[in-house]
Amino acid sequence: MARHVFFGENEREPLEFLYTHSAEYLMFTHRDIAFLPVISSLGSDENFDRYAKILYFGDVNEKIRTDSGKIIYRYLMADTAKEPVQEILDISGKRYQPGSWQISSIYLQIREKPENTSEIAVLVEIDNGKQVLRVRPQEIYFRGRYIKQEGDVFPCTILVDAHSSDPMDWRIVYLSSKVRQNLMVKLFLLNMESQFFLPVYPDPTCSQASDYSVRIWKIKYPEGLKLNSEYLNKQFPKSDLYRSWMMDED
């Protein structure tokens, strides 16, 4: 289930797995999100093909005033949480290998508008060991709004957890393009609608659904879906990989 439902490579894969096991509902919890790296490891092959991790920024925050008087907020990780990103990065015509780069911080600028709404500008700071790049993210989720940016952008998604009126209290969630495609992330974190997974708990009309630690969807299977006997196999496919996950009995 970790491989085919939590980290299926497309929407059909989890649907096929769930259909084969006669599932009627799907549940995700905050605990699943918290243990996403562990679950993705268990669902990966020997090359950790589906390993994924969500990065959180906001352990350390800075308020910067520019020479022109503008306020910019910088969100960082705690030093103990920093680590290289284990994914390939393609940006500005260059490719960086897994482990050769990391996200240093996230910059936010908030512009209040007369209509009691806010505009947001975001930059992601990337350190590849030789230079520091500051680039715009491809997608931003902010106060229920979805913003997609065009042009020379960094293929990632930034989720701004603006749970208070003070940006110094906010937390920034970084989702790589790989993590962004995860079914659990799309349904639970991004509140994306799906024609196959219909929210039943909390009530779909609830405006604070994202505050619930447990959420449930009713599965509406597409026509023509068939059982896949591969998903009923009780034998581990590769004995070497199985042994690698077994705890040392000594």
Q: Which of 181, 199, 227 finishes a domain?
A: 181
Instruction: Please enumerate in sequence order all residues whose Cβ is within 8 A of that of 186, keeping only pairs 6 or more positions apart, or say none.
Output: 180, 192, 194
Task: Print the domain residue range for 13.
Answer: 1-50+183-250
- pTM (two decimals): 0.85
CB contact set of 226 (below 8 Å; sequence gap of 6+): 16, 19
> Final residue of a domain: which of 181, 206, 222?
181
Q: Which residues are 60's β-sheet partners?
A: 76
Assess whether 245 and 129 both reside in one domain.
no
Does 250 or 20 have the greater pLDDT score?
20
Shared domain check, 131 and 75? yes
CATH no. for residue 231? Answer: 3.40.50
Does one domain contain both 201 and 247? Answer: yes
Q: Are residues 65 and 175 in the same domain?
A: yes
Using 50, 70 and 90 to split pLDDT, how confident is the model at 250? very low
What's the whole-number mean pLDDT along residues 177-205?
91
Q: Is 173 exposed, middle or buried (0-12, 13-18, 19+ CB in 10 A)?
A: buried
List, for residues 210-233, the tens digit of each pLDDT value: 788 999 999 999 999 999 888 888
What torsion, rounded to 10 degrees, do the Cα atoms 11, 17, 21, 22 define? Answer: 20
How many domains, in total, are found in the chain? 2
Q: pLDDT tens digits, residue range 65-120? A: 998 889 999 999 887 678 888 888 888 788 889 889 999 999 999 887 766 567 89
Statement to judge: residues 202 and 100 lie in one domain? no
Claim to verify: residue 191 and residue 235 sit in the same structural domain: yes
CA–CA distances in Å: residue 195 to residues 101, 192, 198, 215, 221? 37, 10, 7, 17, 9
User: Which tokens hold the place of 156?
Assistant: 């990632």
Q: Is the domain of 2 the same as that of 114?
A: no
- Residues 175, 164: one domain? yes
Q: Do 41 and 59 fall within a single domain? A: no
97, 87 contact by CB (below 8 A): no
Q: Which long-range contacts (CB under 8 A, 24 or more apart) does 215-219 make?
A: 215/27, 215/28, 215/29, 215/187, 215/188, 216/25, 216/26, 216/27, 217/25, 217/26, 217/27, 217/187, 218/24, 218/25, 219/15, 219/18, 219/19, 219/23, 219/24, 219/25, 219/26
CA-closest candidate to residue 6, choices 21, 22, 38, 19: 38
**What does the mean pLDDT of the chain come to?**
87
The SS3 assignment for 105 reads strand
Among 132, 147, 181, the domain boundary falls at 181
> How confident is the model over 141-165, as a mean pLDDT?
91
Is 145 found in the same domain as 32?
no
Q: What does the pLDDT read at residue 90?
A: 84
Q: Both 193 and 176 in a single domain?
A: no
Q: Are residues 236 and 168 in the same domain?
A: no
